[in-house]
Amino acid sequence: MEINNNLQVQNLTIETLYKYYKSDKLLVNRRYQRKLVWTVEEKEAFIDSISIDYPVPLFLVAEVTYKGTQVYEIIDGMQRLNAIMDFLEGDFPLHGKYFNMESVASIKLLRDKGVLKTKTPFLDLDLSSKIAGYPLPFSVTTINDPKLIDDIFKRINSSGKHLSPHEIRQAGATNQFGYIVRKLSESIRRDVSHSDVLTLNGMKQISINNYKLNYGINLGSIFWCQHGIISKNNIRDSRDEEMVAYLLSAIIKKPRPSATSSNLDSFYQTNGDFENLIQQRGANNIIDTFEAVFEEIKQTFESTGSTFKTVLFKQDNEYTNRVFQVFFLAFYELLVEEQKKITSYTDLCNFLEGIGDLYFSDKAESYNLSKPREQAILMAKGLMSKYFVSRTSSDPALSNGVTRLRNLLSSSVTENTNYDFKIGFHRLEGKCDFDENVVKKIVKTLTAMVNQDPGSVGYVIVGVADDSDAAARYESIYGKKARLYKNFYVTGVQDEAAKYKSHDLYVKFIKDKINALTEIDITFKSMITRYMECLSFYEKTVLIFRVNNEGSPVKYDGKFYERNGSHISEVKDEKMIWKRFV
């Protein structure tokens, strides 16, 4: 497709679009696009229409620049495009038969390399070729204004036939409230990504498993489903985001507003008192505090291997979601507003057994209204108060890094160029002494990460192994088990830090080593040490190194480097790298 300055409608074959797909030229913007939600049946029905030459709706994309390349941001048609790509790669059949990969050279090549697997029985070669050659109607616009793209998306879906009421509300929300709702909802579902913009190819990693469709997020493992608060079908309609929005509004605004649709609509307005309240408190502070309280609730019920619903209710209750709002806000008042902490997660969880049936079932239906909910919050606080004591220091974020590390690890799945992992600074052999080369490798990696483009952000996480062999070596030396999260083994650095009299001296030692390097300039060294932070992940301590590009590329030892995936290479042509920053 040639680059056009005008809106054009043209036909692009499925085979051509597959090449765009595999070369990362089809983008999804999570600011307004929802998850992959089509079922196998819906996907198969769409492919069936193509196979019998029925016309299909127009696809709308915007031509944008992404990482220095002209690509196409999908405004309308993401579910349909995903259905096509999944079918071509053999994720589901048409009438019991799979796409014949012999019909498309680029797909056949991937199969021959072992990237794709052939599934049988497969379709007739002629029918597969016909599907691959089907011309899809594409409307390409050069509009590159995010606000206009948001508005186009919202208008297309405003009838509510394609999106749920809350998805319409959230789609393209440009205010701080919508941003916070989206970020927290992603954090809870654990479908976070490094950036709001990612390739269609990467959407599977952060989408929820569907029947017969194996995506990256297991629906049953999402907190809301696992704890019996929101059903699987309602998660697909983004009712979890609606729940987060109700909880946020109750935290931000006093007196707490009722949890009604009309109130929620007003909070999504781009101006007004509500936005001013958010600005006063700070979006990041609200997110950190919310996540910390959420993690305390999770740890309470996980301490006995239970769930919110099974602990509170021994009888059926259809308003578990409203009772959860009551308890979240009770926890919030105790932990944040009254600066208390939980004395024993296990004792608190055991005390809560059956308490929902005793005190909250009868009026649960009315807990979306302010007065009944406030009365229930007071009751919940009174019942739980003996399991909370005053904090010794003021800390609204509760010093909890569990959620943050989980999000970083999840983000690395969709954008591994921006993330690297080290198990520690000490060798896992011999005398297990400090390895000077690890410091140099980390700093070199960080320079390569920020050389991608002006908006680059890079992370090196120390205390995490991304393979089982390294984790096994750690366990054999220190006698401690790593914590497994997805495919990562969180070992922590606390065991090697114990060799330095104190954790503070360990951190100072590492910073001194970075500052002593002559391969990078003082400005970049200062950024690395300034943004270095420690997180507590349960009993593990993890070090995070974060850097962001400040407008120009960075040299290491007099040379420019760049990172593609986990590979670092020298940039021989300096003019090329400077062009990225013009």
Counting Cα atoms < 13 Å in the Cβ hemisphere of 70 gives 9
Q: What does DSSP say about strands 69-76 and 567-570: parallel, antiparallel, or unpaired?
A: unpaired
Mean pLDDT of all residues belonging to the chain? 88
Q: What is the pLDDT of residues 19-55, one digit of tens each?
A: 999 999 999 988 877 788 888 999 999 999 999 999 9
Mean pLDDT of 268-281: 81
pLDDT of residue 151: 67
Instruction: Answer with the residue of higher pLDDT: 107 or 148.
Output: 107
> For the chain, which residues make up each domain, given as ranges?
8-163, 206-390, 402-579
Q: What is the pLDDT of residues 410-463, one digit of tens each?
A: 888 877 889 999 999 999 988 899 999 999 999 999 999 999 888 889 999 999
pLDDT band at 7 (very low <50, low <70, confident <90, very high): low
pLDDT of residue 395: 46
Burial letters 96-120, b for 16+ CB under 10 A, else e: eebbbbebbeebeebbeeeebeeee
Q: What is the pLDDT of residues 535-575, one digit of tens each?
A: 888 889 999 999 998 888 999 999 999 998 889 999 988 88
pLDDT band at 90 (very low <50, low <70, confident <90, very high): very high
Q: What is the pLDDT of residues 326-378, one digit of tens each?
A: 999 999 999 999 989 999 999 999 999 999 999 999 999 999 999 999 999 99
Asked if the model's pLDDT at residue 158 lies above 70, the reply is no
Least confident range of 307-316, 409-418, 513-522: 409-418
pLDDT of residue 453: 84
Q: What does DSSP say about strands 567-570 and 559-564: parallel, antiparallel, or unpaired?
A: antiparallel
pLDDT of residue 154: 60
CA atoms of 338 and 177, how far apart (whole Å): 25
Joined tokens for residue 33:
């696009």
pLDDT of residue 246: 96
One of 3.30.950.30, 3.40.309.10, 3.20.20.80, 3.30.70.2170 is the CATH number of 402-579, namely 3.30.950.30
Q: What is the pLDDT of residues 337-351, one digit of tens each?
A: 998 999 999 999 999
pLDDT band at 150 (very low <50, low <70, confident <90, very high): low
Closest CA to 325 of 365, 286, 277, 288: 365
pLDDT band at 397 (very low <50, low <70, confident <90, very high): very low
pLDDT of residue 396: 40
Strand partners, 299: none
Mean pLDDT of 249-272: 88
* Residues 76-81: contacts with CB under 8 Å, at least 24 apart: 76/153, 76/156, 78/28, 78/33, 78/36, 78/200, 78/203, 79/36, 79/37, 79/38, 79/42, 80/46, 80/56, 81/17, 81/21, 81/26, 81/200
